A and B are shown apart, each in its own frame.
Chain A
Amino acid sequence: MSSKTARPILHSAAWRISLWATLAFACGTMLVFAFLHRFVAGDIQRRSDAWLSGEVEVLGDVAERTPKDALHDRVVGEVAELAGKEVPNRDPSANSSNDSVFFLQTGGNGSLTLWVGAGSGEPYLKAIQATRIIPHRPADIHVQGLAIPFRVASIQIDDGSYIYLGLSERDELRVLRNLGQRFFLFWLLLVLFGFGIVFITTWRMLTHVREIAEAASRIGHSDLNARVPTTKGNDEVSHLALTLNRMLDRIESSIHQLHTITDSLAHDLRSPLTAIRGKLEMSLSAVTQVEHAEPIVSAIEELDRLTDFLNKSLDVAEAKADALRLNRVPVDLDELLRIMIDLYEPSMSEKGLQIRLKSGGPLRIEADEALIHRMIANLFDNELKHLPAACTVNIQLKAENKGASLILEDDGPGFDPQVLPHLFERRVKGKESSGHGLGLAFVDAVARAHGGAVSAGNRDCGGAQIAVTLPLAALDQGSAAIHSAHGGQAIFRRGIP
């Protein structure tokens, strides 16, 4: 996986899938935790309400039974204070001063008769009076000056006075806050963990898909024997790999069939051609008079043209089916072009043509040497055959993003506009052309077999232009950069000796 981490993770499908999956997971778990929190809060409330109701009942009982003498208030006060020590959810670390509970008794007229609790009872009474509290049903009151509300239960005793027992919700809120924090932490961990698991799983699966894609793109350009990697599992991805491999099996067998057909066709035609050529040569050596030799000579020449046509047709057919067998070796296009120009220059100057090369220096590609030679010879033959006298052929070779670009331009009449759209098809040639119409189809076939492309057209200022691009050798991309960086273009021009 290490080689692929260079590709930004944020752009990977695994990242997107994990983000969406995690979002859904986070929302779901958030709902569950919220529900749990509510449930626990309700339970705590119920428990404290039950305690309040029970205690207020006891206090009411005590207040009722205690005779209304001087000791009444004190007895009730003591009992109330005792009750305050048994507060549920009490923070054990809190100091002993008890301000979380109050006891309040009002007379029949609503005045404060007894107060047990921290500070003055008046604000509490006011808050109680502001909130209408129904006996036996605890309710919240908000005392002025205190942030935390009190839960208050009340009871009416026989003498018409009311007893109120209040419990601060501080402890309850603290418990709930703690719980909320823990729930949040737990939720966060769960979400992160879920994200991790989803991301790793999809990343691994998609890495496998990427490996399949990479292997599949390699296949066809280099070799058909290779297969995409398969896994042991029985999931969609391994199914995809298996399907691809089965498809490759079928393609390989079709290509193999094509090879067999072209090979046997070549063999079936070549053997008689060899025999005919041999016989012609033998009869030529026996001929003494020049006029008798002429038909034999032209027969041999026709035969050689037929052989060339056969070779090119089969190459074009195989290249169209992506089945051209390449034997890649390093080829220096710059050197090759100079040799070709050296070879073609005399014929061209004989015809009154000039040829110029503009090249940035050595440019090596990995290619099938014989095919590249024949491809460039085809391009040169094409110029030589179709250009009228006094024209110039400009050849430009340069490296451009991971490819070699070879451009041939001339100032001749250009391509016949009728032929132009079909230039790379077999058997297409201009009206005055004497060739067999395979030249450019062959150039196109070779370029495509190497993973390159050819384009042809007429220049605005007149003349034809053919541009061939060929991918550089994978190993040589560094030197390609140097090639284009230097850019100092030496103009190579051969004069007439």
Chain B
Amino acid sequence: MHYDPLMRLLLVEDEIDIQRFLRTSLEEAGYQVEAAGDGKTAEQLAVDGQFDILIVDLGLPDQDGISLILKLRQLGLRAPVLILSARRSVDDRVRGLEQGGDDYLTKPFALAELLARLRNLLKRNSPSGAEATRLQVLDLELDLLRREATRSGQLLQLTTQEFVLLEYLCRNAGRVVTRSMILDKVWGMRIQPDTNVVDVHIYRLRGKVDGQGQKPLIRTLRGVGYVLKDR
């Protein structure tokens, strides 16, 4: 699941346990990770090294995470920041940073979501060409202009919502998406239903996409989320 081996990431997190598992997972995902346990170390590292992206926890022992980000911005830092927060409510200052192009994630989070948000931040910050009008994953093709999906040339009868869901899975083909990511991106709400609402949507979509005799594309990873296989 390697993304881009050259991406340099600065992880600012004081909890050793979290720092350790994040470092391992991020390195596995292809990032080159430098870690700092407090604001001061983070400042030095940020000034010395050229980072593509930062992960900053708000509760640092020596200073507030937001003050650190603002200070780094003053020092000329351009890289986007993913803010980790243990607070439930989002601070106005976090909201300000969010508008400035940064993102936040509340603890505890699913690793898949953290990785997805990092990818989004990097995508947002790198100038990309025109938006593709077609998506293709193996023999599944999506025409984004006509809102049509075909599997092995066969037109799939999808509802509007199912098309949006499939498009989201295709854009993240080969990568895990969690239920809360689907709720956020497809339905636009950050909720945690304790019922199987998302599973039923996926189940129905799978019934249409993975027909009889075809190789199943949509896979469920229990406890984690779903993945649309790309190989």
**A interface vs B, CB < 8 Å?**
262-263, 266-267, 270-282, 284, 293-294, 296-301, 303-305, 307-308, 311, 314-315, 325, 327, 339, 342-344, 346-347, 350, 370, 373-374, 377, 380-381, 384-385, 435, 497
Contacts and interface: CB of A to CB of B under 8 A. Distances in A.
Nearest to B17: A275
* Interface core residue of B25, B59, B109, B195 (most chain A CB under 10 Å): B195
Interface stretch (B72-80, B85-93, B126-134, B167-175): B85-93
Q: Which of A281, A294, A374 has the most CB of B within 10 A?
A: A281
A497 B18 contact: no
B210 interface: no
A377 B193 contact: yes
Given A282-B24, A325-B89, A303 B108 contact: yes
A145 B74 CA distance: 111
Given A271-B107, A273-B107, A278-B21, A339 B189 contact: yes
A339 B224 CA distance: 24
A301 B204 contact: no
B191 interface: yes
B24 A275 contact: no
A339 B24 contact: no
Given A274-B109, A277-B108, A350-B200, 18 more contacts: A262-B88, A271-B17, A271-B107, A274-B108, A275-B21, A280-B223, A281-B110, A282-B111, A296-B223, A301-B223, A315-B88, A343-B187, A343-B197, A344-B197, A370-B189, A370-B190, A377-B191, A377-B193
B224 A284 contact: yes
A325 B94 CA distance: 15
B188 interface: yes
B111 A278 contact: yes
9 contacts: A277-B108, A279-B17, A284-B224, A293-B223, A296-B223, A297-B222, A297-B224, A343-B187, A384-B197
Contacts of B193: 377, 380-381
Contacts of A308: 192, 194
B87 A273 contact: no
B37 to A, nearest CB: 13
Given A271-B18, A275-B17, A278-B22, A305 B194 contact: yes
A314 B224 contact: no
A293 B183 CA distance: 25
A284 B107 contact: no
Contact of A275 (B18, B90, B196, B201): B18
Contact of A270 (B108, B190, B191, B222): B108
B223 A347 contact: no
A271 B200 contact: no
A374 B111 contact: no
Given A277-B110, A339-B188, A271 B222 contact: no
Contacts of B25: 278, 281-282
Contacts of B21: 275, 278-279, 282
Given A311-B88, A342-B161, A300 B194 contact: no
Contacts of A274: 15, 18, 86, 107-109
A380 B194 CA distance: 10
Contacts of A307: 108, 192
Given A304-B192, A307-B108, A266 B88 contact: yes
Nearest to B25: A282
Contacts of B188: 339
B145 to A, nearest CB: 23
B14 to A, nearest CB: 9
A344 B193 CA distance: 10
Nearest to B202: A346
A279 B106 CA distance: 17
B38 to A, nearest CB: 15
B3 to A, nearest CB: 16
Contacts of B90: 327
Contact of B107 (A270, A280, A314): A270
B214 interface: no
B152 interface: no
Contact of B223 (A298, A339, A373): A298
B182 to A, nearest CB: 10
Contacts of B183: 343
Contacts of A381: 193-195
Contacts of A497: 159
Contact of A373 (B22, B95, B191): B191
Interface string B207-225: 0000000000000001110
Interface string B1-38: 00000000000000101100110110000000000000
Contacts of B195: 347, 381, 384-385
B222 A266 contact: no
Contacts of A262: 88
A238 B223 CA distance: 61
Contacts of B194: 305, 308, 381, 385, 435
A267 B59 contact: yes
A61 B21 CA distance: 138
Contacts of A325: 89
- Sorted from nearest, which 6 A-B pairs have the closest CB atoms? A297-B223, A275-B17, A278-B21, A300-B223, A267-B86, A274-B108
A373 B189 contact: yes
Contacts of A374: 191-192
Contacts of A377: 189, 191, 193
Contacts of B108: 270, 273-274, 276-278, 303, 307
A275 B187 CA distance: 29
A347 B197 contact: yes
Given A278-B25, A307-B108, A497-B159, A270 B86 contact: yes
Interface in B18-64: 18, 21-22, 24-25, 59
A339 B191 contact: no
Contacts of B189: 339, 370, 373, 377
A275 B197 contact: no
Given A314-B88, A346-B204, A497-B159, A300 B224 contact: yes
Contacts of B161: 342
Contacts of A305: 194
Nearest to A370: B190
Nearest to A339: B187
Nearest to B188: A339
Between A274, A380, A381, A435, the greatest number of chain B beta carbons within 10 A of the residue's beta carbon is seen for A274
A349 to B, nearest CB: 9
B187 to A, nearest CB: 5
Given A275-B17, A275-B18, A346 B87 contact: no
